[in-house]
Structure formats: structure tokens, C-alpha cells
Amino acid sequence: MARLVLRGFDIRKGHLDSAAQQQVVVALRPILKAAPLFNPSTASGRKMSVRMTSAGGLGWVSDTAGYRYQETHPKGVPWPDIPNDVLKIWRELTGLERDPDCCLINYYGEGARMGLHQDKDEADFSWPVLSVSLGDDALFRIGNTSRGGKTESIWLNSGDVVIMGGPARLAYHGIDRIRFGSSRLLPKGGRVNLTLRVAT
């Protein structure tokens, strides 16, 4: 496992070995069954290319009413609990006593991307956001705390974990593209990204 700090983003390359990655994927299956992936829209009504769902007391949703956390899936059911295998990663790498109350689950299929954005719908930005990559490689772009200016990119591979805290907490970041089919972790290909957040 290698550690790299890029613009304040704490990147733990290969933090999860193959067995740990598979454990997390197995733990996600009942969540996806209870709270299926849905295709969100931006506030302007444009459909995003990623599909998403959540686990925890709160889930992040996006539609024409705006970006927000809420207690139920769009189909009206409560979000499932965050699996212990996922909480273990948060506790190990952050050392915090408080657990996240949201685990956003994004699925990137072939051609999916995520434009540069800030994670700023949380109540308190002093808590870090922790991101776990599973499946296909993704080109991760890191910007600045305001729009514009020079950016840097790094490929994230399955098992990599990124901690966004301190000055990096409100930096713009996104996924330019994935190498579809570059991993065998997910039977149908694609990338799953988990982001753990303290929302309240």
C-alpha cells in the first residue's frame, strides 16, 4: 500500500486488497436490493450519467428540487444501514469516534463521468469525506476551492481510498472517465464509488 498526498487529498493506493474488496461488494448487494440504484437529475433537470443510492440514516439525492440529504430512498423506503465492512474503513483511516451518517453509492457504467463539483451539502465541513473505489479504473481530477485554474489528475484503481479533509475538503473534484472492463471485481463491469460523509 502506498500513500500519496495530492493537493491535500490523502490517497491510499491499494488500501483494500482483493479479498477486502470482494467482502465490501458482497455487503453492498442487499443494500442495492432494498434501495435500488436510481438515475438522478441535476437541479436544472439534466440526467446524470451515474446511477446512485445510499446507506445510513440519511441519503443524498439530486433532482429538480435541488441537492439535499433525506431519510428515505426516492421510492419512499428508509435507507439500509451502512455495512460494518464499510464502517471499518472509515474508523481505521479517520480515527474518529463519530461514524458517518451517509454512505453515497455511485455506479459508473461505460461512458459515465462526474463533472467537477464540491461536496458542500453537509452541515459541518470540519468532518472529512472518505471515498472508496471498487471496480474499473477512474481518472480522478482535482481542482481548487474555487472554479477555474489549473487541475491535476490521477488514476484511481480498485481498492484505493481517498480522504478529503482540511484544505481539500471543499476542493472541486470529479471523474473524467473510467476504463470500462479494466477490473474483474464487478461481474458486469463498471465502477462503484462509496463516499462516507457526516451530513448533520
DSSP 64-126: TTEEEEESB-TTSPBPPPPPHHHHHHHHHHH--SSPPSEEEEEEE-TT--EEEE----SS-TT
Q: pTM, whole model, 2 decimals? A: 0.95
Amino acid at 157: N
Distance, CA of 154 to CA of 139 (rounded, Å):
6
pLDDT in tens, 56-93: 999 999 988 889 999 999 999 999 999 999 999 999 99
Distance, CA of 129 to CA of 198 (rounded, Å):
8
- Would you state the pLDDT for residue 43? 81
Q: 12-16, 19-23, 115-119, 195-199 — which is least confidently predicted?
A: 115-119
Distance, CA of 134 to CA of 17 (rounded, Å):
11
Closest CA to 200 of 68, 95, 104: 68
pLDDT in tens, 168-191: 999 999 999 999 999 999 999 999
Domain ranges (residues) in the chain: 2-197
CATH-assigned architecture of domain 2-197: Sandwich (2.60)
pLDDT at 195 over 90: yes
pLDDT in tens, 34-45: 999 999 998 888
Amino acid at 72: T
pLDDT in tens, 104-156: 999 999 999 999 999 999 999 999 999 999 999 999 999 999 988 999 999 99
Q: Are 134 and 121 in contact (CB under 8 A)?
A: no
**96: pLDDT confidence band, cut at 50, 70 and 90?**
very high
- Would you state the pLDDT for residue 66? 87
